[in-house]
Amino acid sequence: MNEETLEESPKSPVPGKEPVEEDVGQSTEKKSSEAENTSKTAPAQEPTATPDSLDTKENPSSDPVTDTEKEIKEEEGDDIRVTAGEPPIDWFEPLEEDDDDADSGRNDAEEESLAGESERSESVPGSEKTFKKIYQLNVPRRKRSHPDEGWVEWPILGEGWKRKEVVRRSGSSVGQKDVYYLGPRGDRVRSRVELVSVLEGFLDLSTFDYKTGKFYEGVAHPTRTRNRAKRKMRERSSSESSWVDRGEGADTPDSHHRLTPSQVPKNLSCNQTSFSSHSTMGSSYQAPRSEERSSEIRIKLPPPSSSSKPIPIPSINGDVMTEDNTLFCAKCGISFIGTWYDKQRKRPCCPGCWAASKTKEHPMIRFRKWIPCGQCVGCHNNINCGQCANCKHGLQSPESRKRICRKRKCICPIRKGPGSAGYMPQTPYSDIPDTFDDISFQSEVMESQHLSLKSSDTENFSVNVDVDDEDDLSTDDDDDWHKKRKRRSCGECKACLCRKDCGTCDFCVDKPKFGGSNKKRQKCRLRQCQRQAMRHLLPFQMGQGDYGPDGQMLPGRPRPHYTYSRKSNFKKNRASASGLDFSDNDDDDLPMSWITEPASVSKHSYELSVRDH
């Protein structure tokens, strides 16, 4: 039936030919009334939606049909009741109906709030519950609830094109407007680049303004440049080392809300900021990297006061500081030197409050001291490799802080503090053996990974932030991987190291670059970390349990149990047992379901699979 309907689309009037506003308005209103009728007359129709039908609906190619369908319905009148033997129109339209129901009568100016509504249903906690309950009366499934909501015909790009604006309702970029386009063949476009690729050969978009959806008249499209220097700052500030002075990247959106940009002078001398900051931080905080001290362009962030003249402030180590690199903690009010900001990087936050807030707000992030275990390969290695970055750095800059050779670095340090046993760092990328066949090393690392990641539940899966006691135990790599979202990748296995998508797995096929609709948004299956990726994301155990046919535990993490809305017994038990205690003790009651052995057999076969690919 769907196919039949689909086949009709080419013969049908092309929506794009209609006057845009009129078309949108008509179809919207019509659908609205349809929604009412449908919901009133045949409420039980919705559950008849089958995955197949949904797929068909999801199929990009069905979008034009939707419009066609609307027009047909318009011709037929408002009675949309479904009769036996006819295509269940409900399955086709329910969400659009719902969406449009909500959308009914709205004009373009209201697109934003409309889009916001759909987002709010997901991202605003608290009141959203009520909202959802009401909303769900008409929206049976999220996946059908709003993907097609808010689209406006956009004939400027050609017949059948639609455009949608979405305003972000949460996150650091709240208020930002995103623009999407939907092609007549269902191409969902999220960026100008995608749009260009889709319309390549059909339309010259050199003068097209993606945001406004209009073409310039003889005005060159503004060119963009990337600011690579941003990286360091962002990584630091967004993760553990937010106290590190900001580089050129300070002109990010975040920094704009932070402090008046015009007041942000650059080029503070390295000494001034870095060393005083260091001393101010005290030994319990992660020390800045020497490279950062010496090479980064630092920004003096002005204090909240409007004082224009820097006031000398003695720092702990006796250096004379000026007020212009002194901040006042937005939480406790104390002044401090450096550039610590709160989690959102909007307000100054002293190191103490910063650490405290991290403990409160990021219970999964634990600060531990790093103590070599004395037993692992790294600890037993007494010879500097001379090849790693740390060795090279030491050779190049012997005067600067020395770092231990990466090959000598403990890969399974003991952590100070409660519940520290068994926690290990992940090994930096550069510590990975050059060949994937270095099984002994791999196994050791893998075992350590399994120990460190011994959780079957994402909620129990903590990110360990190691606080070095000794300078020579830290490396840039430690920072690097902490900064990244590493919960799903070890960064070491073949899959992690693979940078090329296979282009054939379902996740690849879903990618816009492979012509997909970007619904799954997952990394290529063959690039999913064999150790830490969710098991269901891995290539060959889709749909399987924890163990393979040989009884070996399969690689990858089991699916986590998110229990925000549906509390599992496990979660309840944990919650009741530990209360709101975010202490490290929860290490002890972590399920061991995926520790066991490194699953060498499965691992090996997995590696073979990846390699073969």
Footprint of DNA on residues 248-287 (CB under 7 A)? 253
Task: For residue 266, give the nearest of 281, 253, 251, 244 by alpha carbon.
Answer: 251
- Where in 442-471 is the site for DNA (CB under 7 A)? 458-459
**Position 169 contacts DNA (CB under 7 A):** yes
Say how far apart CA 305 and CA 238 lie, in whole Å: 25
Name the one range near DNA by CB under 7 A: 10-18, 261-269, 532-540, 584-592.
Answer: 532-540
How many residues contact DNA, by CB under 7 A? 80
- Where in 299-358 is the site for DNA (CB under 7 A)? none
Say how far apart CA 29 and CA 38 lie, in whole Å: 14
Site string for DNA, 426-445 (x = CB under 7 A): --------------------
How many other C-beta atoms can be found within 10 angstroms of the C-beta atom of residue 591?
13
**Contact pick of 65, 80, 102, 139 for DNA (by CB under 7 A):** 139
**Position 132 contacts DNA (CB under 7 A):** yes
**Position 58 contacts DNA (CB under 7 A):** yes
Nearer to DNA, 359 or 458 (CB): 458
Please answer whether residues 590 and 455 qualify as being in contact, where contact means their C-beta atoms are separated by less than 8 angstroms.
yes
Contacting residues for 509 by C-beta, under 8 A, at least 6 apart = 503, 515, 516
Task: For residue 46, give the nearest of 95, 83, 79 by alpha carbon.
Answer: 95
**Position 533 contacts DNA (CB under 7 A):** yes
CB of 317 to DNA, least distance (A): 30
**Position 523 contacts DNA (CB under 7 A):** yes
Q: State the Cα torsion 468-474-476-480 to the nearest 10°.
A: -50
**Position 488 contacts DNA (CB under 7 A):** yes
What's the residue count for the chain?
613
Nearer to DNA, 94 or 598 (CB): 94
**Position 172 contacts DNA (CB under 7 A):** yes
**Can you read off the two tokens belonging to residue 491?**
């960064």
**Position 513 contacts DNA (CB under 7 A):** yes
CB of 322 to DNA, least distance (A): 30
Strand intervals (E) in 151-292:
152-153, 162-167, 177-182, 188-189, 208-209, 214-215, 266-268
Please answer whether residues 402 and 291 qualify as being in contact, where contact means their C-beta atoms are separated by less than 8 angstroms.
no
Nearer to DNA, 270 or 498 (CB): 498
Given the DSSP bridges, would you call strands 312-314 and 463-467 parallel, antiparallel or unpaired?
unpaired
CB of 291 to DNA, least distance (A): 16
**Position 193 contacts DNA (CB under 7 A):** yes
**Position 520 contacts DNA (CB under 7 A):** yes
**Position 163 contacts DNA (CB under 7 A):** no
Nearer to DNA, 280 or 530 (CB): 530
**Position 145 contacts DNA (CB under 7 A):** yes
Which helix (H) or strand (E) segment holds residue 331: the answer is none
Name the one range near DNA by CB under 7 A: 270-278, 286-294, 367-375, 523-531.
Answer: 523-531
**Contact pick of 265, 314, 515, 545 for DNA (by CB under 7 A):** 545
**Contact pick of 29, 36, 122, 471 for DNA (by CB under 7 A):** 122
In this structure, which amino acid lies at residue 93?
E
**Contact pick of 136, 322, 384, 443 for DNA (by CB under 7 A):** 136
Q: How far apart are the first and last CA of the chain?
A: 38
**Contact pick of 113, 176, 295, 317 for DNA (by CB under 7 A):** 176
Name the one range near DNA by CB under 7 A: 269-277, 334-342, 540-548, 574-582.
Answer: 540-548
3-state secondary structure 435-495: CCCCHHHHHHHHHHHHHHCCCCCHHHCCEEEEECCCHHHCCHHHHHHHHCCCCCCCCCCHH
Site string for DNA, 27-56 (x = CB under 7 A): --------------------x-x----xx-
**Contact pick of 190, 257, 380, 611 for DNA (by CB under 7 A):** 190
**Position 500 contacts DNA (CB under 7 A):** no
Given the DSSP bridges, would you call strands 326-328 and 335-337 parallel, antiparallel or unpaired?
antiparallel
CB of 57 to DNA, least distance (A): 8
**Contact pick of 10, 43, 78, 143 for DNA (by CB under 7 A):** 143
How many other C-beta atoms can be found within 10 angstroms of the C-beta atom of residue 297?
16
- Where in 548-577 is the site for DNA (CB under 7 A)? 558-566, 568
CB of 180 to DNA, least distance (A): 9
Residue 366, φ and ψ in degrees, nearest 5: -120, 140
State the Cα angle at 227 between 193 and 200, rounded to 5°.
10
- Where in 77-106 is the site for DNA (CB under 7 A)? none
CB of 514 to DNA, least distance (A): 9
**Position 483 contacts DNA (CB under 7 A):** yes
**181: three-class secondary structure by DSSP:** strand
Given the DSSP bridges, would you call strands 320-322 and 312-314 parallel, antiparallel or unpaired?
antiparallel
CB of 471 to DNA, least distance (A): 23
**Contact pick of 23, 240, 323, 501 for DNA (by CB under 7 A):** 501
How many other C-beta atoms can be found within 10 angstroms of the C-beta atom of residue 425?
24
